[in-house]
Structure 1
Amino acid sequence: MTTFDDREKAFEAKFALDQEQEFKAIARRNKMLGLWAAEKMGLSADSAEQYANAVVRADFEQPGDDDVFRKIAGDIKGSGLSVSEGEILSKMDEFASMARDSIRAGE
């Protein structure tokens, strides 16, 4: 095997690891977002955990973050609360950053 082949395999392995970490970070972000929304809606601890898991599952409906945003925004609105799109998007960004840092730290 040549040095080029070794480098190619190393890049492929790093890419796979990066993709796996990003997947885990987004799932963690979604759970954090679900727990945040559940707290806003006044759900009990058990209900909050179930709701957060439902938010994680909602992300598999379509590529991107629109499905998660729609779920959170719709559920918050359905509970009679008023939370702006900007606040939800800001929380998504904040939790994504926290989740990525946590995954990189091996937590």
Structure 2
Amino acid sequence: MTDFSDRERAFESQFAREEEMAFRITARRNRLVGTWAAGLMGLTAEETDAYAKAVVQADFEEAGDEDVIRKLLGDLVGAGVDMDDGRVRSALHDATVEARRQLLESQ
């Protein structure tokens, strides 16, 4: 019986680590894509930092990426940047890859 309990705890522990890593990747991705968007909008260093944090916060509005995409696209178009949904999604994908790389290297 202890073998089963040990296996169950190991699976639970692995699941928790994977969920934490997924959360960290998403948060870092949002920060990276927020920095990218801030650069396109011509924000200062302080404004870029605040904007990147706002993008991270926007991800807590609803499940999935649509809340982040909506924020980025709305802010970029509002700032007069020629942007479309496809480019934002592509930037989000690229930022995901980079965030995963950065976190794996830091371990």
Normalising by the smaller structure, the TM-score range is over 0.9
Q: Are residues 1:12 and 2:32 paired? A: no
State the TM-score, normalizing by the size of structure 2.
0.94
Show structure 1 runs of 5+ residues with no match. none
Q: Are residues 1:82 and 2:82 paired? A: yes
Give the % identical residues: 45
Q: How does 1:37-52 map to 2 (within 5 A)?
A: 37-52=37-52
Runs of 4+ in 1 over 6 A off after TM superposition: none
Size of the aligned set, in residue pairs, is: 107
Aligned to 2:69: 69
- Paired letter, 1:65: D
1:35-92 Cα distance to aligned partner (Å, 9 max, x none): 0000000001110110000000011111111100000000000001111211110110
- Paired letter, 1:98: E
- Paired letter, 2:102: S
Aligned to 1:100: 100
State the TM-score, normalizing by the size of structure 1.
0.94
What RMSD, in angstroms, separates the aligned Cα atoms of the two structures?
Answer: 1.2
Aligned to 1:54: 54
Show structure 2 runs of 5+ residues with no match. none
